[in-house]
């Protein structure tokens, strides 16, 4: 299922205000890395995946 980047961005903004931030960011980071690896193996690249992954890693 594709998720629009605006929804992911809103999710990250809500995450920034959450007490569970560290746990959720870790889970989100793992999810995105797995998603990105799968996309790369299929020869597909989604810009939103890279942008969100970088936002999470640089946080």
pLDDT at site 12: 73
Q: Is residue 15 part of a domain?
A: no
Q: Is residue 9 part of a domain?
A: no
* Band (3; pLDDT cuts 50, 70, 90): low
Chain centroid to Cα 23, Å, comes to 14
Residue found under tokens 């939103």: 48
40-44: which pairs have CB atoms within 8 A and are 24 or more residues apart? none
The answer to pTM > 0.85 is no
Distance CA(13)–CA(21), nearest Å, equals: 10
Q: Is residue 10 part of a domain?
A: no
Distance CA(34)–CA(20), nearest Å, equals: 21
Cβ(57)–Cβ(25) under 8 Å? no
Q: Is residue 12 part of a domain?
A: no
Number of domains in the chain: 1
Asked whether the predicted pLDDT for residue 4 surpasses 60, the reply is no
């Amino acid at each position: 299922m594709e998720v629009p980047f605006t929804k992911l961005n809103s999710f990250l903004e809500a995450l920034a205000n959450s007490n569970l931030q560290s746990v959720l960011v870790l889970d989100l980071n793992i999810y995105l890395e797995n998603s990105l690896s799968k996309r790369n193996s299929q020869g597909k690249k989604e810009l939103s995946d890279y942008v969100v992954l970088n936002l999470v890693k640089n946080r």
